[in-house]
Amino acid sequence: MTNTGTISGINGPVIYLKGDPGFQMNEMVHVGKDHLVGEVIGLTDRRTIVQVYEETSGIKPGETVTSTGYPVSVTLAPGILNNIFDGIERPLSEIAKTGGAYIDRGIHVDSLDAQKLWQTHIIVKKGDHLLPGAIIAEVPETPAIVHKVMIPPDVEGIILDVVEDGAYTISHPLITLKLSDGTEKQLTMTQKWPIRVPRPTLKRYPATKPLITGQRIIDTLFPLAKGGTACIPGGFGTGKTMTQHQIAKWSDADIIIYIGCGERGNEMTQVLEEFSQLIDPRSGNPLMDRTTLIANTSNMPVAAREASLYSGLTLAEYYRDMGYHVAIMADSTSRWAEALRELSGRLEEMPAEEGFPAYLASRLSAFYERAGMMQNINGTEGSVTIIGAVSPQGGDFSEPVTQNTKRFVRCFWGLDRNLANERHFPAIHWLSSYSEYLTDLAPWYLEKVDKKFVDYRNRMVFILTQESSLMEIVKLIGGDMLPDDQKLILEIAKVIRIGFLQQNAFHKEDTCVPMEKQFKMMDLILYLYKKSRSLVSMGMPMSVLKEDPVFEKIISLKYDVPNDRLDMFDDYKKQIDDFYDSVIERNA
Amino acid sequence: MAIEYLGLSAINGPLVVLEGVQNAAFDEIVEMTVAGKTQKLGRIIEVYEDKAIIQVFGGTDGLALRNVHTRLTGHPMELAVSEDMLGRTFNGIGEPIDGLGDINSDIYLDINGKPLNPVTREYPRDYIRTGISAIDGLMTLIRGQKLPIFSGNGLPHDELAAQIVQQASLGDDSKSEEKFAIVFAAMGAKYDVADFFRRTFEESGVSDHVAMFINLANDPVVERLITPKVALTLAEYLAFEKGMHILVILTDMTAYAEALREVSSSKGEIPSRKGYPGYLYSELASIYERAGIVKGRHGSVTQIPILTMPNDDITHPIPDLTGYITEGQIVLDRNLYGQSVYPPINVLPSLSRLMKDGIGEGFTRADHQGVANQLFSCYAKVGDARALASVIGEDELSPIDKKYLVFGKAFEGRFVGQGNHTNRNIIETLTVGWDLLGLLPRAELDRIDTKVLDQYYKETTAEALGE
């Protein structure tokens, strides 16, 4: 059933309709003669408010608005991966085919290719009783990922008829179900799901497995769980996007949803180009085969920016329901919050802090709570991990978006301006960052990596903390005045900072480091500390210890030891022993 | 024939309200005749039922509630574009002011532009040689990039922009086959600034390739909101339709943002930070994002916006939001300027995001990234050493800290402070970089691959370098 309303006023992306044409909240509507896509966001008996996902230039009062009868939704079927969409799941390559280099208004394209034939392997048979969300077929969507075709979460019934294995389009009926009320229903591969409604699950598991990213400061110091939430706040140029790219490339999630929300156009182009060329070390296929990009660049309409996060989240939940581990990169949630603010301002709502609407916190919490390691309604187990970048105004973490985000995420990777200025990347600061998953994940690390892992990790953090308080003194009196044991702490902290925490994203070996090597590096650094400390306690001055190039060698080990030559660590251990012996020999 | 509406119902600053209009479209341009003589243009910025709020270009002086005739044009603001616009001067809304007559063209383009589809963009990789070591070496400018200059009042940002224009346009022989042009837009600029650029373009012999859009400080504020859009519309046309490489200089973005705030407050909008409207980010993005390269087309649009940071504060909303949109920034520093370092580029907060893919083997030289990282890292330590020296005195510093002080001085004097007339190629720049790194012991250089160090590193002293 469709209703029609008449436009009475336009203010940027917000339009007002006369009276109440019978629209529902969050219903998708078509606006004006170009049929721009919009969403109902406010209803009173005098007027209806619609936000428009496209540029509103040229719209006049008196034009009509038609309802579609369903909320703003995404289309879910094979073809999502290895694709790039705008904020409301319109494929940008299709838009380019019809509209040329620029994104025109009122372009209507199918979200997913309706012509393409997919090789379908049916795994159910006639007479099966299907519960909601049951998997009925498997489709190799890309060489890396098998798409599991499910029935919608609100459908249940007995199969009356089912097609043979073969090639089908996403709109071809695969099965006919007899529902509990006796009616028959044909189902295709395609489902629609409203973006603002979380897809249902059975239960939520506690965090037990880390999302391994290959980034040392994250995996070792501040780990993130699969199904967890993390935020990366940082001023411009501190490396938010770089960190997100690194995690998107190397993390051991099955599927990556990369949402470019209000960010640079060239960056999205870069991800698209780079991910098509880079090979996923785990599957041997191009990274794009497990990736979906949602691009709503900063010059695209602001309302679609607000929707893009939810679109991406819904796609992620869909793949989670198939039993995959999905990681979402949301870059940047601040732009999303600003879109909220802009729309709120246009609606003349009462502003709270810094002009943001008072519902900022509840929107943020609703967003991050959609993450989790879940048991799905079809019995599979999957997770959605959310990693949100935050772009605080002026790099000041006390602003509302950072503060409210901190309340709802459990992992905080704070980027530091000074580290970025020194080109110490990733510029995640070891003192201001934290991860609440440490204790949850400790059993995993003890079992899968090493029994001493957690202890070593804590000792490294302790050395860094000591360094920070010693630096206060050094700033006042200079480093030369310190006693030798404290000088040693500074020296070892330097080895940790440069040799371990700093990681070169452009270096072949260093860009992604396996857990085992991370542990061995940590082990070696602490071994060097132990040996040096015993030398210092024998009265050897630091200046003598520094004559040996062993400290520099350990620092450059991250480049010198290839990831598949971990046996070389024994040699380094021996070098430390030699260093110990030679110092004693020379100075005994 | 379109209907003319007589009279207005309110005038408030640059905004007027017209009631009883039929068929007014959002963002439409209207033509106004004041007292039967003066012609003005206006833009509809809000419509509600039969009421339209119009932003008047050219100021509301002389307007009365009863002496204005308004006519709807039925389209958004458009600019007639043509290659003949190079070598010409226009006012802030694209009307010729050099007395050389109108532009004849049938091609009218909507000045608001349209967002470039990320799929059709080409990722920029060709570097532009500016001949300035700090930029080429540490924050390389890439064709298709938007790289603003963050400056302060009284700092030589105009000279720097002029030097980039001169050296980038003339210095690069290998690209001489390609067509190069400059689009210059001044928003709220002082007369002297506009004149400085005009003279520079003339002196360097490029003025035939420059289109200037000038909105002076005493020109109507509302026109400023149009100036960058008009300029970029021409730039996009020349780049993507005519295959030219366009360098766009926008000065001063601060004046643009101030104008936006002024209009927003006249409209009675809810302010966000420091009184700027909540959509400042989107507005700035709609300008900056119009840089780039399109797949399958020849040309490119490179932007160098200049903005003066109010009170030299980089956290002020204008530089802050700009930094989040642009692909890096070049930050000028008053302290360095005070020490007669020209160009006074503070390299630590400066950055080029596109640099990493446009340098190195096949572009500049294999060791470029390593040298850049090492110079950044060493110069950051100079700051620590100086802070320590100011507390305990230079004499008490450890030998290594003393070496850092020497390095810092040489870095500012030789590498950054190359002077107005030096034009260094990239090999010269890297050589100076290696000379400076030679002032430090090899063990301090922890950002460069061992093999590269073997090839280029040579220990040296300040005396040997002639300091």
Q: What is the pLDDT of residue A105?
A: 84
Instruction: Verify whether the Cβ–Cβ distance A342 to B282 is below 8 Å.
Output: yes
**Are the CB atoms for B213 and B91 separated by under 8 Å?**
yes
* Closest chain B C-alpha to A111 CA, distance in angstroms: 16
Mean pLDDT, range B64-71, rounded to an integer: 91
Chain A residues within an 8 Å CB radius of B301: none
List phi, psi (to 5°) of B339: -90, 20
Q: Which of A58, A297, A552 sits opposite B443 (nearest CB)?
A: A552
Extended beta strands in A77-206, E state: 83-85, 118-122, 129-130, 135-140, 146-150, 157-162, 166-168, 175-179, 184-187, 191-194, 201-205
Q: Which of B46, B270, B315 sits opposite A11 (nearest CB)?
A: B46
ipTM of the complex: 0.89
Report the phi/psi class of residue A172: left, alpha or beta, with left for phi > 0 and alpha for psi in -120 to 50.
Answer: beta
The pLDDT-based confidence of B59 (bands split at 50, 70, 90) is confident
Q: What is the pLDDT of residue A148?
A: 96
Distance CA B168, CA B127 (A): 10
Cβ contacts of A118 within 8 Å, gap of 6 or more: A78, A139, A141, A147, A167, A168, A169, A170, A189
Q: What angle do CA B53, B59, B65 make, to 5 degrees?
A: 55
Interfacial B residues in 340-369 facing A (CB < 8 Å)? 348-349, 351, 353-354, 356-357, 369
Q: What is the pLDDT of residues A300-356, one digit of tens each?
A: 888 899 999 999 999 999 999 999 999 999 998 999 998 998 888 888 888 888 889
Q: What is the pLDDT of residues B423-445, one digit of tens each?
A: 999 999 999 999 999 999 988 89
Q: What is the pLDDT of residues A281-307, one digit of tens each?
A: 888 899 999 999 999 999 888 889 999
* Closest chain B C-alpha to A200 CA, distance in angstroms: 33
Given CB atoms, is B17 within the 8 Å cutoff of chain A? no
Mean pLDDT, range B224-243, rounded to an integer: 95
The pLDDT-based confidence of B177 (bands split at 50, 70, 90) is low
Considering only the C-alpha atoms of chain B, give the largest distance between any 2 of them, rounded to a whole number of Å. Answer: 86
Q: Fill in the amino acid letter for A304.
A: A
Distance CA A223, CA A220 (A): 6
Q: What is the pLDDT of residue A347?
A: 85
Question: Does residue B341 register a pLDDT over 80?
Answer: yes
Residue pairs between chains A and B whose CB atoms are closer than 8 Å:
226
Q: What is the pLDDT of residues A419-474, one digit of tens each?
A: 998 889 999 999 999 999 999 999 999 999 999 999 999 999 999 999 999 999 98
Q: What are the residue ranges in chain A where pLDDT is below 50?
A: none
3-class DSSP state for residue A69? strand
Instruction: Verify whether the Cβ–Cβ distance A393 to B292 is below 8 Å.
Output: no
Given CB atoms, is A477 within the 8 Å cutoff of chain B? yes
Instruction: Verify whether the Cβ–Cβ distance B27 to A474 is below 8 Å.
Output: no
The pLDDT-based confidence of B418 (bands split at 50, 70, 90) is very high
Cβ contacts of A439 within 8 Å, gap of 6 or more: none
Instruction: Verify whether the Cβ–Cβ distance B119 to A84 is below 8 Å.
Output: yes
Distance CA B451, CA B457 (A): 10
Q: Which of B48, B354, B357 sits opposite A8 (nearest CB)?
A: B48
Q: What is the pLDDT of residue B170?
A: 46
Q: Fill in the amino acid letter for B359.
A: I
The residue of chain A with its CA nearest to that of B286 is A299
Mean pLDDT, range B269-278, rounded to an integer: 86
Mean pLDDT, range B216-241, rounded to an integer: 93
Given CB atoms, is A277 within the 8 Å cutoff of chain B? no
Considering only CA atoms, give the Rg of chain A.
28
Mean pLDDT rounded to a whole number for chain B:
90
| Strand B351-352 with B10-12, pairing | unpaired
Instruction: Verify whether the Cβ–Cβ distance B281 to A57 is below 8 Å.
Output: no
| Closest listed residue to residue B256, CA positions, set B97, B115, B92 | B92
Instruction: Verify whether the Cβ–Cβ distance A84 to B118 is below 8 Å.
Output: yes
* Terminal C-alpha separation, chain A: 94
A interface test, pick of B18, B143, B282 with most A CB neighbours within 10 Å: B282
Question: Does residue B175 register a pLDDT over 80?
Answer: no
* Closest chain B C-alpha to A304 CA, distance in angstroms: 13
Q: Is the pTM of this model over 0.80?
A: yes
Length of chain B equals: 467
Q: In this predicted model, which residue has the larger pLDDT, B229 or B175?
A: B229
